[in-house]
Structure 1
Amino acid sequence: MSPADFVNLICDNCREAGRGMSDHPVVLAVGNGAATLPQLRLFTEQFYLHIRNMLPWIGQIYVTCPPEEVRTALVKNLAEERLGMFTNTKAHLELLPEFGEAIGLDSFVPDSFTRLVVGFKSNYGLTDEQLVFWTMHILADQEHGDEGIELVCEYGRGASPRVPMHS
């Protein structure tokens, strides 16, 4: 299997129903204006936990990953997530609670984010300022995804490295 075919296999698997955000019920509901504020608040809380728990996983992958190019991509991802370094924003874990406050929450992935932004603006009257967390992810996550595809093509050659990536 060629590196491009392997990337396509991974992408196809991620597009299967229930495996990504594109068909998440809240994403679909925001897109058509049917999401309620309680649903948005719960979704925001859950998304916060996802991001909070994802960051140590990225760090662990960094520590155990031999290719320097992959480690560089991972540290850039962490710098953006933890510091907002490349989007000139705040840490993502600071931005999401700000969004939560905009939808009345007291405490606390690019096509999907684009649909969320459009839905939040048109159906809930939220402003660009209130949606910074989502809008900056549209570009940042596209870049992370493109970089990931390049790295899989480069380092996913042969059967043995593909087993842990595809499992």
Structure 2
Amino acid sequence: MDVEKGTRQLKSLIEKLERNNRTLRSHPTIEKIERGELSQAQLRHWATQLFIGNKAHNANILGLIYAKCDDFPARKAIVENLIEEELGRVSGANRSHPELYLEFGEAIGIPRAELLNASMTPDATAMMHWMYWLADSKPWYVTLAGISLGSELFNPDAYVRVIDGLSRHYKLSDDALLFFSVHVKVDQDHGDSSAGSIFRAIPESAAAETLWAVETHIELMRRLWSDINPPPV
């Protein structure tokens, strides 16, 4: 697929979604965190569902993409991404991203055993099954585009705002927020470089399906971030 054409189509899609407030760039949960309006119970529920529905699965999904990928430059990039997920070498955190998230959970009062064994809400369940279904059912480049571009184009801006709100209103330390600060830089680098390398590997016939995967992932992520209210006991 022509990289310039793919980039234009992706930009057009993002602009359409942003006009309709359908991305993380204008999201009520982020705004509530910035203003300190989430209760502790809401904050813990949001953090739990985001982890078990999405963040805990990223290394697995990258492994599934790698196993199907037949493009050698892309395979190298996927391995580098996987090494960061599992070892934190690129960022210098020297801990896996799930470990960084578990530390964040502990800082807001979620024991790691509770976070690892929590029950999923429908939105978290939808996100998790979407990622595994996409990786299992679609070509590697459709999965990589959907999940990578659908997240990493928005994470840096969203996480900067989350870090600011959590540090100011919830008094969390820099160490407690390392999961988010690591992703500001790592996802910025991935987001800047991923689109071109992915588009080069996509057949022209798969362009529409690839953009559909990006749009679907953005929507499911938006819904997952909206999941802030614990179910009634």
1:160: which partner in 2?
Answer: 205
Which residue of structure 1 aligns with residue 38 of structure 2? 35
Structure 2 stretches of 5 or more lacking a match?
116-154, 213-233
1:52 matches 2:56: yes
Question: Match for 1:110 among 133, 156, 161?
Answer: 156
Query: Retained in 2: the 8 A contact 1:80–1:87?
Result: yes
Task: Report the equivalent of 1:121.
Answer: 167
TM-score norm. by structure 2 comes to 0.64
Q: Does residue 4 of structure 1 match 2:7? A: yes
Q: CA deviation at 1:165?
A: 1.6
* TM-score normalised per structure 1: 0.86
Q: Secondary structure of 1:130's partner?
A: coil
Count of aligned pairs: 165
* Superposition CA RMSD, Å: 2.1
**Which has the larger displacement, 118-127 or 49-58?**
49-58
Indicate the SS of the match to 1:129.
coil
Structure 2 matches for 1:3-22, cutoff 5 A?
A: 3-12=6-15, 15=18, 17-18=21-22, 20-22=23-25
Please, which of 101, 125, 150 is the counterpart of residue 196 of structure 2?
A: 150
Q: CA deviation at 1:7?
A: 3.1
* Secondary structure of 2:73 counterpart: helix
- Of 60, 68, 71, the residue aligned with 2:72 is 68
Contact 2:36 2:170 (C-alpha < 8 Å) held by counterparts: yes
Conservation of the 8 A alpha-carbon contact between 1:110 and 1:141: yes
Alpha-carbon distance in structure 2 between the residues aligned to 1:13 and 1:67: 31
Alpha-carbon shift at residue 117 of structure 1 (Å): 0.4
- Report the CA distance between 1:24 and its aligned residue: 3.7
**Cα 1:62–1:51, aligned 2, differ >3 Å: closer, same or farther?**
same
User: Could you tell me whether the CA contact under 8 Å between 2:101 and 2:179 is conserved in 1?
Assistant: yes
Tell me the percent identity: 28
In 2 relative to 1, CA 12–155 (structure 1 residues): closer, same or farther, beyond 3 Å?
Answer: farther
Q: CA deviation at 1:9?
A: 3.5
Q: Determine the C-alpha separation between the residues in 1 that align with 2:200 and 2:158.
A: 27
